[in-house]
């Protein structure tokens, strides 16, 4: 196991995040947010703000900055603030004040008077279900409705009607915010070579491209630096409002500008996870074999319809073998803050519904929940011919059951003093994906190496992975490898999202390392090389000939007067997508204790066993899975944004928006079954940043049912949900 290379800097406070950069002559920006959910800005009186102490500029749709809407093949269009007078949600950025100090900018922003032509707002997902729209296909490159029927079956309704045992229920999940420790922020400065922006993000080259498009400048003149990211989880995949505004005002004022959202502003001026309503019907034989699965989903989305939470497509489409399957995905446009990717988008809320329904089926069949899941284990997604490249979910359940003491579980829980104790389980799956990535590997004359890419490490441990895979590919010790990340001038590393970074960058490293070794050998045996005209090979960081003579790569470079030799390697999904289906798998277990009088629910034990291919670094991998499992606890028992009828968030701060603290989380046990999946990528690794969250909320709800006999079909689960009627 290898400790995180960036760990000492982070725990000692030496790591410099975006907002930590202070430049000479720097000014400070503060956002003005809307106080209605729907309408048009009639007037904005900025006179008092302009005359306030220290104010350098006030910008609004009436006095706009020069910004355009950028678009990219990967992300589509990204919303840019202050471009029109329309208000689509409460807390939308509508103004920007820049002053000599943060306090002056904040105080002046409070002086801006806004009048609106207010219109009726739609803020309730439940009220909009009857007018829901089909979700657009690009989110999964599949139609919003999919039906797979066995021969002779005319409809999913017929398949369910013919099933001896049927479970049908509706499940709900709450709106959530990423609530990363680092608020969205940026420091922007223009120089002779263009713009430099310091900002936490999930892909510096992607952010640089969006800024270039928004500012209408050549992409080569924009540099984005993000060596450290204080949490992202999908919420920093796109360029934030502070970054657009800081960059534009820095150009106008000709001085550096720092802009950072306050904690309260993070809850509205950024995007979060959609709320969902999911109706699931399961039909089965009496031995538990699934006959039919129907999963209809509705999710909230902003009025721009820019994102859909693909709950049905992300779970029932792939998880269990069934001859009859029908899924649909609809969206309800609302006057709410935008929705976007959030850790395990689709799979996290979708698994709560599906895995709760599977547990309900097990209860109705009087069958062990693990036996039911294993009986319906799929070898390929239903309706697809492409089998899983590697799947060891049954082993995860067997190992987990033995390790967790599942054999001691009672169908009706047990008592421990005043506590009702129950056990729950759930399947976890998350697709194994790769994004295009390019990495540069450099061999230095001092016998060290550099592995560089513009990708980001938003807490995933990617920086350490670069050093480990680089060292392995170059056959040297990791201590001799310097990994570089988070700078858009480096080769484009893609986005750190979708649990893709290790597989994507790791494969590119292997390609680049092979190329740079070939370059080294050509130098060594070339006309001016120390092994002129000889057949040479490479091993253990050395060039060798057939006579036993060896030189380190640094010695070879010094002998030919070269300070370094480098090569780039690029990797992208390829023909493997036409041959197999790819996913990570896992089995979640938890023990929950519910107080018999107060009905307080507490998770007392958790275990996750995961099949995620090759594990590059056990220590950081365990940390990623533990973090995801804790997120599952948070979703099940804590997190949920309350949206009032007028669109205002009732708990849009860390006082009212609950997340777990140390006292809420017991010891978390994690185990991996390691089967490298080289059909997916040359490294053999599959994603694990997000799968740790998948299924855990359902496992907790299932454990609560086991302890109390109360089935709660929504999250978060509250004390009042468990009170005796």
Q: Which residues of 467-492 are buried (b: 16+ CB within 10 A; e: fewer)?
A: bbbbbbbbebebebbbbbbbbbebbb
Q: Which residues of 699-724 are buried (b: 16+ CB within 10 A; e: fewer)?
A: bbbbbbbbbbebebbbbbbeeebbee
* Close Cβ partners of 7 (under 8 Å, ≥ 6 residues apart): none
277 membership: H or E segment, kind and range: strand 276-284
CA distance 468 to 472: 6
CB 670 within 8 A of CB 586: no
Number of Cβ within 10 Å of residue 35's Cβ equals 16
Q: Specify the 3-state DSSP secondary structure of 353.
A: helix
Pairing mode, if any, of strands 481-484 and 276-284? Answer: unpaired
CB 301 within 8 A of CB 329: no
Q: Which residues of 14-30 are buried (b: 16+ CB within 10 A; e: fewer)?
A: ebebbbebebeebbbbb
What sign has the CA pseudo-torsion 575, 577, 580, 585?
positive
CA distance 424 to 430: 20
Helix axes 347-365, 618-637, angle to 10 degrees: 70
CB 357 within 8 A of CB 350: no
Active-site residue flag, 690? yes
CB 512 within 8 A of CB 439: yes
Pairing mode, if any, of strands 564-571 and 668-672? Answer: unpaired
Provide the β-strand partners of residue 299. Answer: 276, 331
Active-site entry in 40, 63, 690, 725: 690
Q: What is the dihedral of CA 145, 151, 154, 158, to 10 degrees?
A: -100
CA distance 584 to 588: 13
Residues serving a catalytic function are 690
């Amino acid at each position: 196991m290898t400790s995180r290379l960036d760990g000492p800097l982070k725990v000692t406070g030496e790591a410099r995040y975006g907002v930590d950069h202070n430049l000479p002559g720097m000014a400070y920006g503060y956002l003005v947010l809307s106080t209605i959910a729907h309408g048009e800005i009639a007037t904005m009186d900025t006179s008092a703000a302009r005359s306030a102490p220290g104010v350098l500029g006030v910008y609004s749709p009436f006095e706009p900055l020069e910004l355009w809407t950028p678009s990219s093949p990967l992300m589509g269009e990204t919303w840019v603030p202050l471009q029109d007078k329309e208000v689509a949600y409460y807390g939308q950025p509508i103004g920007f004040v820049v002053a000599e100090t943060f306090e002056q900018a904040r105080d002046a922003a409070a002086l801006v008077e806004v009048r609106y032509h207010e219109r009726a707002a739609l803020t309730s997902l439940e009220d909009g279900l009857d007018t829901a729209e089909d979700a657009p296909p690009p989110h999964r490159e599949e139609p919003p409705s999919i039906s797979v029927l066995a021969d002779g079956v005319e409809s999913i309704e017929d398949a369910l009607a013919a099933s001896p045992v049927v479970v049908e229920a509706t499940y709900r999940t709450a709106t959530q915010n990423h609530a990363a420790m680092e608020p969205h922020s940026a420091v922007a400065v223009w120089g002779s070579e263009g713009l430099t922006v310091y900002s936490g993000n999930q892909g510096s080259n992607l952010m640089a491209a969006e800024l270039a498009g928004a500012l209408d400048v050549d992409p080569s003149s924009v540099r984005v630096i993000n060596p450290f990211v204080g949490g992202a989880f999908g919420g920093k995949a796109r360029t934030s409002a502070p970054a657009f505004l800081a960059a534009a005002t820095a150009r106008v004022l000709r001085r550096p500008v720092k802009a950072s959202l306050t904690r309260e502003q993070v809850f509205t001026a950024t995007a979060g996870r959609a709320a969902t309503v999911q109706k699931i019907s399961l039909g089965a034989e009496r031995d538990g074999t699934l006959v039919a699965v129907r999963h209809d989903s509705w999710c909230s989305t902003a009025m721009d319809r820019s994102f859909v939470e693909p709950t049905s497509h992300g779970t029932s489409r792939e998880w269990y073998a069934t001859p009859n399957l029908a899924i649909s995905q609809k969206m309800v446009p609302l006057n709410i803050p935008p929705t976007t990717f959030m850790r395990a988008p689709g799979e996290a809320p979708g698994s709560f519904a599906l895995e709760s329904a599977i547990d309900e089926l097990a209860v109705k069949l009087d069958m062990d929940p693990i036996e039911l899941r294993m009986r319906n284990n799929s070898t390929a997604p239903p309706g697809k011919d492409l089998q899983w490249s590697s799947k060891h979910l049954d082993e995860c359940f067997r190992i987990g059951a033995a390790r967790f003491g599942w054999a001691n579980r009672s169908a009706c829980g047990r008592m421990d003093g005043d506590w009702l104790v129950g056990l729950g389980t759930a399947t976890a799956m998350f697709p194994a994906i790769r994004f295009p990535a390019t990495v540069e590997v450099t061999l230095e004359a001092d016998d060290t190496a550099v592995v560089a890419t513009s990708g980001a490490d938003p807490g995933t441990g990617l920086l350490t992975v670069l050093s480990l895979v680089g060292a392995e590919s170059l056959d040297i010790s990791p201590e001799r490898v310097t990994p570089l990340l988070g700078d858009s001038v480096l080769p484009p590393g893609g986005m750190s999202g979708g649990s893709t970074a290790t597989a994507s960058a790791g494969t590119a490293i292997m390609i680049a390392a092979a190329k740079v070794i070939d370059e080294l050998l050509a130098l060594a045996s070339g006309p001016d090389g120390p092994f002129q005209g000889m057949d040479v090979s490479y091993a253990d960081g050395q060039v060798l000939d057939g006579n036993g003579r060896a030189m380190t790569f640094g010695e070879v470079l010094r002998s030919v007067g070269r300070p370094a030799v480098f090569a780039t390697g690029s990797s992208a999904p390829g023909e493997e997508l036409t041959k197999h289906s790819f996913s990570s798998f896992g089995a979640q277990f938890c023990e929950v204790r519910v107080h018999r009088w107060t009905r307080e629910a507490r998770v007392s034990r958790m275990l996750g066993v995961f099949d995620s291919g090759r594990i590059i670094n056990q220590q950081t991998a365990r940390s990623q899975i533990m973090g995801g499992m804790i997120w599952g606890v948070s979703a099940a028992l804590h997190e949920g944004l309350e949206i009032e009828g007028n669109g205002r968030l009732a708990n849009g701060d860390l006082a009212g928006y609950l997340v777990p603290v140390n006292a809420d989380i017991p010891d978390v046990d994690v185990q991996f079954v390691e089967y490298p999946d080289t059909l997916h990528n040359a490294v053999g690794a599959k994603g694990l940043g997000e799968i740790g969250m998948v299924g855990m909320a359902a496992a907790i709800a299932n454990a609560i049912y086991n302890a109390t006999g109360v089935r709660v079909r929504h999250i978060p689960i509250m004390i009042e949900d468990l009170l005796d009627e």
